[in-house]
Chains A and B, each alone.
Chain A
Amino acid sequence: MFQYYLKLALLSIKRNPILSGLMVTAIALGIGACMTTITVNYLMSADPIPQKSDKLFYVQLDSWDPNDPFDEPNEPPDQLTWTDATNLLKAKKATRQVMMAQSVGAVEPEQQDAKPYMASIRLTSKDFFGAFDTPFLYGGGWSDEADVNREFVTVISRETNDKLFGGQNSVGKTIRVLGNNFKVVGVLDNWVPVPRFYDLTTDQFAEPEEMFMPIMLKEELELPSSGNTNCWKRPDDGFKGFLNSECVNFQMWVELESEQQKQAYKDYIDNYVKEQKTLGRFARPLNNRLSDVNEWMENQEVVADDAQIMLWLSFMFLLVCLLNTIGLLLAKFTGKTGEISLRRAVGASRKDIFVQHLIETACIGLAGGIAGLGLAMLGLQGIKVLYGSFADRVSSLDFNLVIIALILALLSSIAAGLYPTWRACAIAPARALKDQ
């Protein structure tokens, strides 16, 4: 029966090519617009580390100006001071603790013809690689001793390894960077978390850094600070003065296994702040936070307002396209009054007619959905062109999205088809036939 209805549906679609074409186009446009914006929003807000996003917590301590909050209404600073971050790092109260900061440094390649270049550097502690499950191509992270003894070791990105070592296993080799020889201990495999959740304070869709090194080298080599530095009190002169100041430029993540452990850690940082209060720091009321990955992404407003506005506008766009389709279907089915009456007169039940027309609608919806997917790819291409490199990582369709698109197309076309189909079934065959 299904096959017969399918044949009837295709026949009927062929009979009014223009009307059918209009309907398919309308659905395709609506689905195309929606899928473009859904993709962008979905990828912007996607959980970048689903296996442990509820175990990683971003640490905030309110060390700010007693007179003004860091941000209204009463937000603690989004980063930590050197003093607090190193204290938390040394205390080792969590399963893993990751302290980090951004920096840059000149790399001087050994090859004669290669020019020196500036590399982006993430200064961090050894737990970075374990906490964020970074994939390694060669080697691995550095040891606890390397952190403590401030060893000149580095983990480099795959691209840097390709550039400096032609993709060979470079573990054990040295790179001249920041005027010193660094020993390579690991090479990361391709690793581009979207968004770059581990540091949302600057470009949230940037690629990870080219090199990683122990954070304590910041003090040892007096490394420059990149990213945002915010101060509410003038730092003392000199590099030491900056490190000992109330300026925030450092980030801290901790890995905590359970709710109890989280509570224990929260108590620990609250106690830490109370202790610091006795030393004359932390004049503001207690306001420390632990946010897991998704909470932190929400706090830092990773999904741009523009993307959300587009999402709502595209749903309205789809609504217009559906209204359009309802109207056209109504016109089409009303035009088939004669045919329907005849089928009813020779024995088809209302249910048969209903199913037959629903299949016809679904066919149109499916065609619209497939065409809409094509349009969505076009739309995403357009987004890439318009927004440039940043959009590269938030504008590709994956399998889930294709399924969502087809289901959305099918559901919306069937929803659009319900009323016209019901009207088609409601025809009184005798009268309709007589009128003819």
Chain B
Amino acid sequence: MFETGPILRALMRNKVGAILIALQIAVTMTIIVNSIFIIMERKELMARESGMDEANSFYIRSSGFAKDFNNQVTVQEDLAMIRGLPGVVDAIQVNAIPISGGGWSMGLQTKPGDDQDGVGVAVYMVDEHGTNTFDVDVIAGQDFNASDIIWRDGDRNDWPDQILITKAMAEDLYPDEDYRNAVGKTVYINRNEPIIIKGIIDKLQAPWIGWNGLERVMLVPQLMDFSAYRYLVRTEPGQRDIIMPKVEEMLASSNKGRIVRELRSMQETRDRSYRRHSAMINILTTVMVILTIVTALGIVGLASFSVNRRKKQIGTRRALGATQGAILRYFMLENFMISTVGVMVGAALTVGLNMWLMQAFELSRIDWYLIPVGMVVLWLVGQIAVLGPAKRAAAIPPAIATRNV
């Protein structure tokens, strides 16, 4: 087909240049395909939803320090005040914030006893406004009502007798049953203390985005009689930025015996928590773009050089009747053949690097389809890069053959 035979023989006479390009293509492909794979994985991580109304929620931390600071009264007044603000949907006092990085976890087990395995779960202490503020639905059983809520003393470690858990937690506790059956069942905290599951909520994430139990959460009907805690506030759409400074100002001026700080929107929290991943995506994207350009320029450089060197032969071929198209085809085909070797080696290297990354850094196995996609992309890069020099070759006039260099 075409001039594959002559091209191959010509290539064999000048192997080194061809090998260099093929190797460059191979390594470039290895980096690019593995980078794309890492980027896809990170994007998938970042696309996970917390279950909250993130766009319209924010929180602030209040720490009482005065000796006569009355927590119970302050919390009740604060909550009444925040909930009464126009534009606020609901607000709660809470011990930790989803996806923020810091929180509290416990283990729940389905049978009592020291030798039973527990399932780790993130703890959020909320009152009867919890589900509304988090914007989650009770999909089985009952929500808390006002009479369920008890005060938790900072020095005591008692747990209430009922909780809400997420669907994911129900499924991890009872893997063989429908999650709805978990309602009304008794689980054990601290090995032996019974708690009844009052209801199941659809979805809410734990504070730790790197935790494998990210969606295992329990809501506990307790208000905290602690000196430090956070308020989580959910606003009407578009009202968040107006209400944030108002709440800060209100809390700071209502009680001089405390410090309010860490006023932060959920959007900011998400950006902070996932910063590492978005940074990796940005860096790898930059690397891919630069690398493609470097490889393409390398191909342009070497092809231009080989065109220049073969000016006389090209002229001779043209004089003997080869069309401009035939010359163009020669260089395109030559590049295609070199690229083919490159992407074949590249495919093997890609799998090799992925295997090593899996072993050394616990990455997962690369999606197989990325390899053929990478091969096609690099073939195209090669063809586009060689087009310019090939066109210049085709434009060489036959008369050059007759000239003495």
Residue pair A386, B301 in contact (C-beta under 8 Å) = no
- B192: shortest Cβ distance to chain A, in Å? 9
- A71: shortest Cβ distance to chain B, in Å? 13
Contact string, A242-257, partner B, CB cutoff 8 A, digits 1/0?
0000000000000000
Q: Which residue of A lies closest to B252 (CB)?
A: A115
Size category, B interface: 35 or more
Give Cα distance in the complex from A22 to B305, angstroms: 13
Residue pair B157, A237 in contact (C-beta under 8 Å) = yes
Give the chain A neighbours of B261 by CB distance below 8 A: 117-118
Contact string, B13-46, partner A, CB cutoff 8 A, digits 1/0?
0001100110110011011001100100000000
B162 at the interface (CB under 8 A from A): no
B85 at the interface (CB under 8 A from A): no
A135 at the interface (CB under 8 A from B): no
Give Cα distance in the complex from A388 to B271, angstroms: 11
A-binding segment of B2-10, B143-151, B235-243, B273-281? B273-281
Contact string, B298-315, partner A, CB cutoff 8 A, digits 1/0?
100110011011000000
Contact string, B62-95, partner A, CB cutoff 8 A, digits 1/0?
0101110000000000000000000000000000
A143 at the interface (CB under 8 A from B): no
Give Cα distance in the complex from A320 to B293, angstroms: 11
Q: Which of B17, B279, B295, B297 contacts A330 (CB 8 A)?
A: B17
Give Cα distance in the complex from A316 to B65, angstroms: 55
A160 at the interface (CB under 8 A from B): no
Q: Which residue of A lies closest to B65 (CB)?
A: A106
- B65: shortest Cβ distance to chain A, in Å? 3
Q: Which of B17, B272, B290 contacts A29 (CB 8 A)?
A: B290
Residue pair B283, A328 in contact (C-beta under 8 Å) = no
B348 at the interface (CB under 8 A from A): no
Decide yes or no: A22 and B31 within 8 Å by CB, A29-B290, A310-B283, A386-B278 being known contacts.
no
- A280: shortest Cβ distance to chain B, in Å? 14
Contacting residues of chain A (301-324) with chain B, CB-CB under 8 angstroms? 304-306, 308-310, 313-314, 316-317, 319-321, 323-324
B291 at the interface (CB under 8 A from A): yes
Residue pair A320, B24 in contact (C-beta under 8 Å) = yes
Number of contacting residues on A, CB 8 A?
55
Q: Which residue of B lies closest to A245 (CB)?
A: B157
B367 at the interface (CB under 8 A from A): no
A179 at the interface (CB under 8 A from B): yes
Give the chain B neighbours of A328 by CB distance below 8 A: 298, 301-302
Q: Which of B24, B279, B306 contacts A324 (CB 8 A)?
A: B24
Residue pair A321, B294 in contact (C-beta under 8 Å) = yes
A172 at the interface (CB under 8 A from B): no
Residue pair B287, A324 in contact (C-beta under 8 Å) = no
A19 at the interface (CB under 8 A from B): yes
Contact string, B47-70, partner A, CB cutoff 8 A, digits 1/0?
000000000000000010111000
Give Cα distance in the complex from A237 to B190, angstroms: 14
B178 at the interface (CB under 8 A from A): no
Contacting residues of chain B (164-193) with chain A, CB-CB under 8 angstroms? 190-191
Decide yes or no: A324 and B361 within 8 Å by CB, A67-B114, A117-B259, A118-B259 being known contacts.
no
Give Cα distance in the complex from A383 to B290, angstroms: 17
A335 at the interface (CB under 8 A from B): yes
Contact string, B87-105, partner A, CB cutoff 8 A, digits 1/0?
0000000000000000000
Contact string, A230-246, partner B, CB cutoff 8 A, digits 1/0?
00001101110100000
Residue pair A324, B67 in contact (C-beta under 8 Å) = no
Decide yes or no: A317 and B31 within 8 Å by CB, A106-B259, A239-B155, A386-B283 being known contacts.
yes
